[in-house]
Structure 1
Amino acid sequence: MSRLSVVIADDHPVVRTGMRVLLSQDTSFEIVAETSTVPDTLQAVKKHQPAVLVLDLTMAGQSSLPSIPDLITVSPGTRILILTMQEDPAFARAALRSGAAGYLLKEAAAEELVGAAHQVAKGGTYLQPAMGARLAAADLVTPSTGADALLTARELEILSLLAAGHTNLEIARRLHVSVRTVETHRARIRDKLGTETRAQLIAAARERGLLG
């Protein structure tokens, strides 16, 4: 029986080592590559066509959320399992909408990583129970429909950074894009949520459960 190939993508060597140790304890997995940046991850996935990609949401200051569709394009058979410290339900929703097969918080990795990897490798979806409960609670209060559902992964990311108090320039530097690009995304978010000012935008996002 062939082993399930895995690529581990995280910019912290200690975390990668921990994941490698955990997954290697199961002989059905074979770690074929480890990466620490989004571009390197795209290259590794394209080269190895792994069964599973364990992917951090942020590597070397760059979000991996927008790269999920590209990763699926270069390797359609790869199942993506997000492993992150990001507890905001909006990010879990955005990752799953973008094509990720699973979402797991790093705090639970030791207990759940192997099982989650098997689940997604078999074609299933894995959502950590605690995160699933948060998503369900948010949807009960403000179901994700209408304009909310039209926000892209990048728009959700920028929205979260705006809510954290970052300026357009700071967001641009953090995401490695131009200030004009951030301004364009911000304008689209305002249009979709029907707001004008920054305060109105953030308030509307919180009311809709987009910021957790």
Structure 2
Amino acid sequence: MAKIKLVCFDLDDTLIREIHSVMLPCILNGKEKEHSLIQEQEEKGVIDYISADYLRAELLLGLEESKIAKSFLEIAKPLKNIKSVVDALHNQTIKCIVITVGPKQVAKVVCDIWGFDGYYGSDYDVVQGVFNGKIINYIRAEQKVACLQDFCANNNIKPEECIAVGDGSTDIPIFKYCGQSIAINSSPEVKRCAKYVVDTNDLTDILKYII
């Protein structure tokens, strides 16, 4: 078995639960009710998740980007011991990154708070520190793999030296690309695609499969 050099984490329902990465700035912008209506349409199958995210992006119009970092820990509901896991992996010279279909602006805050080595996410347009309601570049499921490949190329890491940790259908392509995978608090469909399965509120429960 190849030595693990990188653990790639999904964000929504993997590191944070209930309050998703695009929902959080909607709440900060006073658009929680409007977000709920879009969520309801998505759950009913009226619109797909990509169309829903473009509609959610419009709800961020006028929000100051700096408010995300200031209020993240007041609103987000993270799993326990994220920083402990990142530190434990770093002690084994294993890098940690976050790849999400959500806003990269939120992924950056996550990276800064818990000490991840890098982040990728959908590029929501910000002009002079303020969201303008548009998405410049949307990260779909397949593009998560391209993000991982970019980080690996810059850090001389092979696919078999990576572990992917995620919960949703958008993580399945990256599960297939990496040497190993851990489904955390996920659906039966995603569990079938992973090498390891964990249901927990404490992220340290994944360490036994990595180090």
Bigger share in helix: 1
* Largest Rg, 1 or 2: 1
Bigger share in strand: 2
